[in-house]
Amino acid sequence: MSEKGFNAFKMAQEQFDKVADMLDLDEGTRQLLRFPQREYHIRIPVRMDDGSVKVFQGYRVQHNDARGPCKGGIRFHPQETADTVRALATWMTWKCSVVDIPLGGGKGGVICDPHNLSMREQEQICRGWVRQVAINIGPLQDVPAPDVMTNGQHMLWMMDEYEKITGARYPGVITGKPVGMGGSKGRTEATGYGVVYTIREALKLMGIDPKNTTAAVQGFGNVAQYAVDLYTKLGGTVICVSCWSQEDQTSYTFKKSTGVSLDELRKITDRFGGIDKKKAQDLGYQVLAGDAWIEQEVDILIPAALENQITGENVNRISKKVKIIGEGANGPTTPEADKVIHERGIFVIPDFLANAGGVTCSYFEQVQCNMNYFWEKDEVLSKLDTKMTSAFHEVASLASKKKIYMRDAAYMIAVSRVAEACRLRGWV
Ligand code: NAD
C-alpha cells in the first residue's frame, strides 16, 4: 500500500543496490534481481449482489524463482499498488533464501476493500483471480498464501477454483488453509515462535539465561501472542504489550511490572488483537500511551504490530538496558532509526529473518500437501526450530566474522544464494 512520498519498491531496490555493492555483484545479476521476473496485471469482473458488474484490478508478481517455485501472500486492500506488490515479492525472495527453503519470492493483490464486500462477492473475486492466473501458478510454479485481509476461507475458494480448472486435487497449490483441509498444524504459532527461537539463540550467544530477562512487545495479534507465549515458557518476563483500540482509534500499552499473563489478556482481547482497557485495569494493568512500550527498561524489544514503528523521532527513547530487538513485524524500523540502533550496538534480528517462521511453516504445509501426509504439531515445530536456529547462526556468524550489522549479514546471505542459483542455472 502506498503512503504519500513513500514507494516500497524503490526502497526494496535501494536495499538491494546496497547489498549488491557489498557483494560486488556483476551488472547482469543486478539487472536481473532489481526487478521481478514476471508480473501479471489482471482485471476481474464480478457480478455484485445488486446485479451490477464491477471490475477489480488484481496482480501477481513473481520476483525470482531461481531457487524454487515462488511463494507469497495475496492481499486485499483498497490502496494496493503494483509497486507495493513488487516490493513485497522481492522481500519474499530474500526471506525464503535467508532461511534456506527451496522457494522463490512472489506476491499478489487485489485492489478492493473486503469491509464493503459480501462473502459472495469476495468469493467471486477469489475465483476470478485464480481463473486469470491459473496457468501461471501451481505447486511447482507459484504458491500463494493469505496476507492482509485474506484468510483460510479465501485460500480454500482459490484452491477449489484451481482444482476445477485443472480437474485434479492440488492441495499444494496454496497454503494457509485450515487444518483438516490441507493446512499444517503449528502454522498459527509459527511466526511468533520463530521470532522467539531466534531471540533464544541470540541470548545464548550473549551468555544470558532467558529467565533473567524482560521484554516489551508491540502488538497483541497472531505474531505477538505466540511470541509472548514461547518467551514466557522459556522463563522470560514480558512486562508490557501494546495494541490498537478500535473503539478509541488510538493505541495503548498495558503494563504489569511483575509480568503480563497471556491467558488473562487473551480472555479480554478482540479478534483484531485489541485489549479491553477497562477490564485490563480491573486485572491490575497500568494503561499507558501506545508508544510507551518502546521506552521500557527491558532487555528485549519485540515490535510485532506493523511497519514504521521505530523511527528517527522515537529511537532515542529506547532504554540503555535494551540488548536485543527481535523484529516480528515487517519493516518496523525506519532506515534513520536503524542507523542509530546500529551505532548503539543493539543486537538486531532483522524482520525477514526473525519472522520467517510463517513462510517456513507454509513451506512445510506445501510439502505435507504434496505427500498427502500430515505431521503432528510437535514434529512441525521441531522442524521449524531447527530451520530458524540454523538460519540465525549462519547470519550471526557472518556478522561476527565480517564485523558487520546483522541486517547486512542477513541480506548478504539471502542475495548471494539467489545470485548463485541464477549463475548455476546459466541465467547470468
Ligand atoms: P494481527 O493483525 O494479528 O495483529 C496486529 C496487532 O498489532 C494487533 O494486536 C493490533 O492491535 C496491533 N496494532 C495495530 N496498530 C498498532 C499501533 N499503532 N500500536 C500498537 N499496536 C498496534 O497481525 P499479525 O499477523 O500478528 O502481524 C503483525 C506483523 O507481523 C505485521 O507486520 C505482519 O506483516 C508481520 N508478519 C506476520 C506474519 C504472520 O504469520 N502472521 C508473518 C510474517 C510477518
Q: Is the Cβ–Cβ distance between 43 and 57 less than 8 Å?
A: yes
Residue ranges of the domains in the chain? 36-183, 188-354
- Residue 311: the pLDDT is 94
Same fold, 36-183 and 188-354: yes
- Per-residue confidence at 2, pLDDT binned at 50, 70, 90? very low
- Residue 78: the pLDDT is 93
**Cα–Cα dist 312/414, whole Å:** 27
Contact residues of ligand 1, CB 6 A cut-off: 191, 218-224, 242-244, 251, 272-274, 290, 304-306, 328-330, 355, 358
- Which residue minimizes the CA distance to atom 42 of ligand 1? 358
Ligand 1 site-directed mutation target among 191, 260, 262, 288, most atoms within 8 Å of CB: 191
Average pLDDT in the 147-166 region?
Answer: 95
Among 187, 140, 177, 199, which residue's Cα sits nearest to residue 384? Answer: 187
Average pLDDT in the 7-27 region?
Answer: 94
**Cα–Cα dist 177/73, whole Å:** 12
- Residue 272: the pLDDT is 84
Residues annotated catalytic, as ranges: 107
Ligand 1 center to residue 305 CA distance, Å?
A: 4
- Residue 42: the pLDDT is 98
Cell of 172: 499444494
Tell which atom from ligand 1 comes closest to the C-alpha of 190: 40
Tens of pLDDT, residue by residue over 365-412, are 999 999 999 999 999 999 999 999 999 999 999 999 999 999 999 999
* CATH of the domain spanning 36-183: 3.40.50.10860
What pTM was estimated for this model as a whole?
A: 0.95
Tens of pLDDT, residue by residue over 275-319, are 999 999 999 999 999 999 999 999 999 999 988 899 999 999 999
Q: Is the Cβ–Cβ distance between 186 and 381 less than 8 Å?
A: yes
The stretches of 187-251 forming alpha helices (DSSP H) are 187-206, 222-233
- Per-residue confidence at 97, pLDDT binned at 50, 70, 90? very high
Tens of pLDDT, residue by residue over 250-267, are 999 999 999 999 999 999
- Residue 391: the pLDDT is 98
Residue 29 predicted with pLDDT over 80: yes
What is the average pLDDT score of the chain? 96
Fold of the CATH domain 188-354? Rossmann fold (3.40.50)
DSSP string, 287-311: EEEGGGGGG---SEEEE-S-SS-B-
**Cα–Cα dist 181/196, whole Å:** 28
Among 315, 317, 306, 241, which residue's Cα sits nearest to residue 280? Answer: 241
Task: Identify the residue whose cell numbers are 543496490.
Answer: 17
Ligand 1 site-directed mutation target among 222, 260, 334, most atoms within 8 Å of CB: 222
Let me know how long the chain is: 428
Strand partners, 348: 325
Tens of pLDDT, residue by residue over 166-178, are 999 999 999 999 9
Tell which atom from ligand 1 comes closest to the C-alpha of 191: 40
- Per-residue confidence at 5, pLDDT binned at 50, 70, 90? low
- Residue 4: the pLDDT is 53
Tens of pLDDT, residue by residue over 197-233, are 999 999 999 999 999 999 999 999 999 999 999 999 9
Q: Is the Cβ–Cβ distance between 302 and 198 less than 8 Å?
A: no
**Cα–Cα dist 190/196, whole Å:** 10
β-strands 104-110, 142-146: how paired?
unpaired
Tens of pLDDT, residue by residue over 316-365, are 999 999 999 999 998 899 989 999 999 999 999 999 999 999 999 999 99
Average pLDDT in the 122-138 region?
Answer: 98
